[in-house]
Amino acid sequence: MNQNHMTILEHIDELRKRLMIIVVFFVLAIIGSFFLVEPLINLLQNAASAKELTMNAFRVTDPFKVYMNMVFVLALIFTSPVILYQIWSFVSPGLLERERRVTLGYIPASVFLFLAGLAFSYFILFPFVMKFMLGLSGNMGIQSTIGINEYFQFLFQITLPFGLLFQLPVVLLFLTRLGIVTPMFLKKIRKYAYFVLFVIAALITPPDIVSHLMVTVPLLLLYEISVWIAGIGYKKALAAEAEQREKEEA
């Protein structure tokens, strides 16, 4: 049924179906993640940023917490294409045919950007942050005792936000295609966006200027790239609407 002619109850029922599909795939992803999580944890423990550290469990439940947190993160990553596709399927009836084809291509781009954000934060930012933290402890004459639960929580705190922040170009482009925001509006709120990104960078980095800049500069560049991409999408959306009006008038 065309969503333009659906009642509120039918919209809710459609949303319920989409959510059920997501839940089913998420459960399957959790089951599959149980077969991958232990090798992955061992791989991360033997990585360059952690191989010289001795991991300790301060509570009996710490290894289990790390295990289940990793299962949840893996399942969420595996399910993300399904989540994005269900969101697209729910809103796509309100788009023009050309916009449907274009926005469908945002799904693989979004997954790629999420993985790129994880890779950037894990291979570039995280080792630098760990070196800074351990160096600070050494300078203060403190012997660091690393808890495995705290280590992986810190790892997630650094990497997962970057995976989400790298979605910014796709999110702004999608919102532009839907007509919710415009490139002019994004340029108008630039200074407020910069401030928010600056605060986010401060929250996920240690209090030193170098690591802060390592996060802030990429985020600001990402915002500018997002505005540029949104501008391109906005022009194409206007052209598509004009072409559609011409067809309707013909």
Q: Could you report the per-residue pLDDT of 102-124, keeping only the tens digit for each? A: 788 888 989 999 999 999 889 98
Q: Could you report the per-residue pLDDT of 219-229, keeping only the tens digit for each? A: 899 999 999 98
**What is the spatial distance between Cα 52 and Cα 32, in angstroms, rounded to a whole number?**
30
Q: Output the pLDDT for position 156.
A: 92
Q: Residues of the chain with pLDDT > 70: what percent?
A: 96
Contact 114, 164 (CB under 8 A): yes
- One-letter amino acid of 20: M
**Nearest CA to 227 among 171, 187, 174?**
187
**What is the spatial distance between Cα 43 and Cα 167, in angstroms, rounded to a whole number?**
26
Q: Where are the beta strands (DSSP E) in the chain?
A: 55-56, 146-147
Q: Output the pLDDT for position 228.
A: 92
What does the DSSP 8-state code read for residue 96? -
Whether 76 shows a pLDDT value over 90: the answer reads yes
pLDDT band with cut points at 50, 70 and 90 for residue 5: low
Whether 1 shows a pLDDT value over 50: the answer reads no
Tokens of 159: 């990497």
Q: Output the pLDDT for position 15.
A: 87
pTM above 0.75, yes or no: yes
Min mean pLDDT across 5-14, 57-66, 161-170 is at: 5-14
Q: What is the mean pLDDT of the chain?
A: 86
**What is the spatial distance between Cα 224 and Cα 84, in angstroms, rounded to a whole number?**
24
Beta bridge partners of 55: 146
pLDDT band with cut points at 50, 70 and 90 for residue 179: confident
The average pLDDT across 152-165 equals 89
Helix (H, G, I), strand (E, B) or coil at 197: helix
CB-count exposure of residue 8 (10 Å: 0-12, 13-18, 19+):
exposed
Min mean pLDDT across 38-47, 76-85, 91-100 is at: 91-100
Whether 33 shows a pLDDT value over 90: the answer reads yes
**Nearest CA to 177 among 128, 223, 250, 231?**
231
Whether 175 shows a pLDDT value over 50: the answer reads yes
